[in-house]
Structure 1
């Protein structure tokens, strides 16, 4: 079930990360000229403003999806949302692939982002409710091994197709359409995934929840060849309205503020590097054509951070993993800004990618653990939405800094953000090995 649910996340990451790899092709298609961008051209006559508007539209859509529709998953169920949001993404992205102006490219990019915005929030919520406390960290690591595998796939496709016109289409359009076709296949695979038993129990559908849990127990006993131990006494979840306002009041207000600040800070490093890596390499003196090849080598590292995490995810406190990763990202990006050797740039890019992906799986699990079932999706959607909003403006900010101050300016921006993220996460509670009910109390 973790694998099937993660396949949807694969296409969210495919979609998020193709931005940096298809930007050169979009620019060659004339989509980022002031005439093509329409009212988006008002964002400024910067050299990278055109691509910046595409990144801006992506994350504004993700922000609206995470903020506005997180509550729908609490009301209507996890399964329905992560299934139909994938269909929304397919439709919008397919239409986007055939746009001929920057204005409508960005409009449909925004629309696709709305569907993806709720997708990942619901996946995080579902996994936290499905997996036993002693293995939740490992489950998130496995989840992100699968999702991050999308990054080298899209990097390879962009590199392999960059000088071609498959089916008479620009290469970037084909890269986009491949993601849509794969998402359709995943939609059919996911139809066998059951609803979250915790959500069902919360909505008085106890018999249905019991059937799902009994089926899981039966399958585990058959796979292991042993009888399962008796269930441990569980602390019941406190009653409450489950509204977003509850997340903004004690005892959850501190957690909500901490995770909102953290999400704004971490995304500047995470997507600030990943979405701009080909452009950053060019700014460090690497030829445009070679930058896509080097970016592909760096992209291969993406699944390996979570893969290492499968081993240690439940051995160390989540907070510790997040803080160490943020510190490593801050140090490495400073070294990257001063390097000029292609080999050293690749090594530093790989190290930054590994650290950022360890941070990613650790915090995705951490923030989903901090809230009770009655409001988990909407609270996670709220705090996560700040990362989307920050990323929308960070894309423009990085464009400004890169144009005016080069890679060192970008590195200073990312490094400072990592320090803010560390300060925020240190104030949060410990969660490793604890039942969700105990954490929520």
Structure 2
């Protein structure tokens, strides 16, 4: 009898619509009907959930997927010296758009990322966050495995393009998925944790490259081992799929109200058991999820946000990947040996997860736009100083600052851009604006190679500094405030 009363109390707390009715003796069936009749309450029910083990488990599962994704995305710069050493690629190119240099390998990745984000971002909006999260991971793992056995620049770049498409879809899907599952009071910290775990891949891939790239274990070039080890993520795919629910917000946007309620009810019950008491009452119902199409991105209030994010992404990529993908090559260009260059970048790479880890303490305290502007300024100062550095200690210290600034910007804008669009087009819209960073990276990699050849390391960092100044202006002048607001209220 006590258990029955406790279950009834818990259901009433989870579904306060029944408490608003005139009849106090409302049945459980009518409570469920009220919940299904009030889709606007789904957001409020999600956002009131406390940060229990169940919520953090979802965040950690998505973060583990992000780890493997970043491993595959960021090994590009670390294996580049090995690709040059094996004779497949050259460090510079004879012309601006040569296809035999390191720049073409980087460009192939970002061309794939561009196609994956702009042309395939809609998949998560159409088929669901859970399904696309699973299949895009299998996609890029298979492509990378094929790439590891290529011996020509053309074949290498072709498979890197294919893997880039899968990574591009996954990047958009994980961000969308996480933003919709994390309660609003936890959203910034959820992205900080996700990126902390994700960027732990940087020291891992840096260490493996340091150990393997200069060697050929079992007669296989070390860079091939680095690529193949990323395929471990495939072993976790079905574990992810079994333990991740579909996004209730996405189900609701498709009119699948009963499924959304069932998923949320199961999550509420688990959270309530761990919380040890009745859940907090949901706040006022948020605006109903807005129905939108791709064309709505070019209408108020989304038009200014779309233009802002396009400008931001075109130039933030220059700062982030201009350093991350090129630092081993830049150091070699300064006369440092391949082995020492990889050692330095391994030490610098240890700082990669520290940026978002520090960001955990500021994520839900300061406006996202202010954090981005501040870290872009730090990137400019540190980058220009790095171009003048000569001692090992100075190189590592400035490299750490650049890494911290870049990764704090990264976790912050991944949170920020997901907040600016409605659920019905969130993945598609973010994929579209995000794709501009990929297109930018395709061309900026060739520009950096050209600048490195004709103007040296200083020229590269002057180009990066100018780009980060435009990042500061676009976000600082055009970015809306989002801190502490529900997704629905921001995007309504």
| TM-score of the alignment, normalized to the shorter chain, above 0.5 | yes
Q: For 1:333-352, what aligned pairs fall within 5 Å after superposition?
A: 333-352=383-402
Q: 2:369 aligned with 1:312, yes or no?
A: no
- Residue 16 of structure 1: which of 56, 60, 73 is its match? 73
Deviation at 1:67, TM superposition (A): 0.3
- Residue 270 of structure 1: which of 310, 320, 327 is its match? 320
In the superposition, relative to structure 1, how do residues 41 and 78 fare at CA in structure 2: closer, same or farther (>3 Å)? Answer: farther
**Aligned pairs, number:** 433
- Residue 449 of structure 2: which of 388, 399, 405 is its match? 399
Q: For 1:378-393, what aligned pairs fall within 5 Å after superposition?
A: 378-393=428-443
TM-score by length of 2: 0.85
Gaps of 5+ in 1: none
Q: Is the 8 A contact 1:59 1:113 kept in 2?
A: yes
Residue aligned with 2:390, SS: coil
Q: Is the 8 A contact 2:90 2:102 kept in 1?
A: no
Deviation at 1:287, TM superposition (A): 2.5
Deviation at 1:107, TM superposition (A): 0.4
For residues 368 and 98 of structure 2, the distance between their equivalents in structure 1, rounded to whole angstroms, comes to: 43
Q: 2:333 aligned with 1:283, yes or no?
A: yes
- Residue 25 of structure 1: which of 54, 77, 82 is its match? 82
For residues 43 and 411 of structure 1, the distance between their equivalents in structure 2, rounded to whole angstroms, comes to: 18
Alignment match, 1:408:
458
- Residue 176 of structure 2: which of 118, 125, 131 is its match? 125
Q: Is the 8 A contact 2:210 2:343 kept in 1?
A: yes
Q: 2:244 aligned with 1:193, yes or no?
A: yes
Q: For 1:22-421, what aligned pairs fall within 5 Å after superposition?
A: 22-32=79-89, 50-180=101-231, 182-191=232-241, 192-237=243-288, 239-240=290-291, 242-421=292-471
Q: Is the 8 A contact 1:286 1:342 kept in 2?
A: no
For residues 111 and 97 of structure 2, the distance between their equivalents in structure 1, rounded to whole angstroms, comes to: 18
Runs of 4+ off more than 6 Å: none
1:268-298 CA distances to partner (integer Å, 9 max, x unpaired)?
A: 0101000011112223342322111001000
In the superposition, relative to structure 1, how do residues 250 and 291 fare at CA in structure 2: closer, same or farther (>3 Å)? Answer: same
For residues 299 and 2 of structure 1, the distance between their equivalents in structure 2, rounded to whole angstroms, comes to: 23
TM-score by length of 1: 0.95
Q: Is the 8 A contact 1:237 1:372 kept in 2?
A: no
Select between 206-215 and 149-158 the one with higher mean Cα deviation. Answer: 206-215
Gaps of 5+ in 2: 1-57
Q: Is the 8 A contact 2:214 2:339 kept in 1?
A: no
Residue aligned with 2:286, SS: coil
For residues 173 and 439 of structure 2, the distance between their equivalents in structure 1, rounded to whole angstroms, comes to: 18
Please tell me the root mean square deviation across aligned C-alpha atoms, in Å: 1.7
For residues 238 and 170 of structure 1, the distance between their equivalents in structure 2, rounded to whole angstroms, comes to: 52
Deviation at 1:43, TM superposition (A): 5.1
For residues 248 and 42 of structure 1, the distance between their equivalents in structure 2, rounded to whole angstroms, comes to: 38
For residues 30 and 422 of structure 1, the distance between their equivalents in structure 2, rounded to whole angstroms, comes to: 40
Residue aligned with 1:312, SS: coil
Deviation at 1:177, TM superposition (A): 0.4
Larger radius of gyration: 2
Deviation at 1:16, TM superposition (A): 1.8
For residues 401 and 89 of structure 2, the distance between their equivalents in structure 1, rounded to whole angstroms, comes to: 32
Deviation at 1:45, TM superposition (A): 6.2
